[in-house]
Structure 1
């Protein structure tokens, strides 16, 4: 069967909304694409071909996707993988793939109605960078060239959010804000579903060489508190994959790298305040906190006393 190349999306009301209509000779309907301010691309497909069709496409700018199928069925085959995956009504899926991947999709002559959310892998890592253990299954999948988890049932709450998204009552800027919020809500529900009940079992022992790498990583992390290196840069330098680094770090120190850095900063600020040479603002800036309110909350959460109160008590001594 010869593959059909669908026409590219064309801008509609504003620069953030694009639309692709299926040629009348092939069927009816089309797709809407919204480029949201967070970097997420929202795609809404609602079409029906007049016969079984094989069409060709490409995903150029994004490497992670969440799919939600409300109606229809199709077989999706990315060229970077050796087999196809079936997309069915009532199911959702998560997939990661190389940027620029081409794909073929075979769909029948029934209505296809689904929503896809595409984003960059780095954006997803930013969203979950303080909860690595909980989202270990997702982090692990991002390390592979191609990974997919198909056939997850659409939950009632997902269906409610999808209905709200597909029947947005607003336009213009308000529409963009609404779609952004609902897209993030869908991603949150999907991530919870992917990781709920999943216990990531791995060997609790660490090789001596890996322990040395973790200690090297910890040293790099706190060497410059005002400008700590990116976790990916640390990962490359010490020779551990990002997921393995987080796992070994927690097994070695009982903390994630972010928690380790935060604790080190706060302990250093405590020492500076106890020395009596700096005020609260100076101590906060010295250890890398530019938001004084956030620093005070973190300090009190860790030590049970606000830094200003500690400072006053020291001056009275």
Structure 2
């Protein structure tokens, strides 16, 4: 297995955009970094390797980060304290790195796509200031000088923002503003997942009602091609239609119909990205019988036609 040491980011011709030279890797690899005035750092790393490698890096200042794995999987380890752990597609996580930590990533000969949001050093301190109780677990991890990570799934709302980051329709200053807004959106979705208490006062539900809504959402996404109608869905979880709609919005921020539509389109996007099926097959597999309606809904959500995405995926 080839071993390399991670290099420092280098500036590009675009203001506030940097890249890491990965030309020594066996295959195709790219790492772009955008730094925003808010203090967030957005990292997009895309690799397609011909042989497995190890990448070693040293953390020189404390970092809080959010990681989103969109394709592939890999292992990583912290030195000297932690054993190797696995990161795979569909996962998102919060990680904390104190300074002077050695990290080794073990990348297989495969296609991999990852997006990170990071806060470092003084920016990290200013971000936490005033919310010490809120970020207490993070602060304790850094004070004990030990790395830590908390793993969850990547939600539908997160996937939409991640896709929009990868397929930004703008350039120049407009692109920088757009990417920063999407990075902030990702941060808010992740904080809401990590700290459910961020839900606005008055939107809390009893535990039993919250569980009913979770079961309702699972019933929708488990039957994308033939989901239950609202009346059937409400009956199955023991709620009235009006309560189902109201409670669903409290938990997910959208109606049951919008949740189903978003999940259908997200699933179709992943199918098309694989390049293994055509647009018609993708539409039918997630419950769209009308192809023109599917194409319109897809482009409205992702800013690109399904056929264009399929063409791009097959080229790569």
TM-score by length of 2: 0.56
**Counterparts in 2 of 1:170 and 1:13: CA distance versus 1, 3 Å:** farther
C-alpha distance in structure 1 between counterparts of 2:17 and 2:99, whole Å? 22
Partner of 1:149: 149
**Counterparts in 2 of 1:114 and 1:54: CA distance versus 1, 3 Å:** same
Contact 2:25-2:49 within 8 A present in 1 as well: no
Kindly state the Cα deviation for residue 38 of structure 1 after the two structures are TM-superposed.
2.1
Q: CA RMSD in A?
A: 2.6
Partner of 1:65: 65
**Counterparts in 2 of 1:96 and 1:80: CA distance versus 1, 3 Å:** farther
Partner of 1:93: 93
Number of paired residues?
A: 198
Contact 1:48-1:111 within 8 A present in 2 as well: yes
Unaligned runs of 5+ in 2: 199-316
Q: Deviations over 1:146-202 (max 9, x none)?
A: 24234310011111111111111222222222222211221121122112279xxxx
C-alpha distance in structure 2 between counterparts of 1:138 and 1:54, whole Å? 28
Hey, which bits of structure 1, 4+ residues long, moved more than 6 A? none
Q: Deviations over 1:46-74 (max 9, x none)?
A: 01221111121233355211111101111
C-alpha distance in structure 1 between counterparts of 2:97 and 2:172, whole Å? 32
Unaligned runs of 5+ in 1: 199-317
Query: Rg: which structure is higher?
Result: 1
C-alpha distance in structure 1 between counterparts of 2:41 and 2:169, whole Å? 20
**Counterparts in 2 of 1:61 and 1:14: CA distance versus 1, 3 Å:** farther
**Counterparts in 2 of 1:4 and 1:162: CA distance versus 1, 3 Å:** same
Q: Deviations over 1:227-283 (max 9, x none)?
A: xxxxxxxxxxxxxxxxxxxxxxxxxxxxxxxxxxxxxxxxxxxxxxxxxxxxxxxxx
Partner of 2:107: 107
SS at match of 1:117: strand
Contact 2:48-2:111 within 8 A present in 1 as well: yes
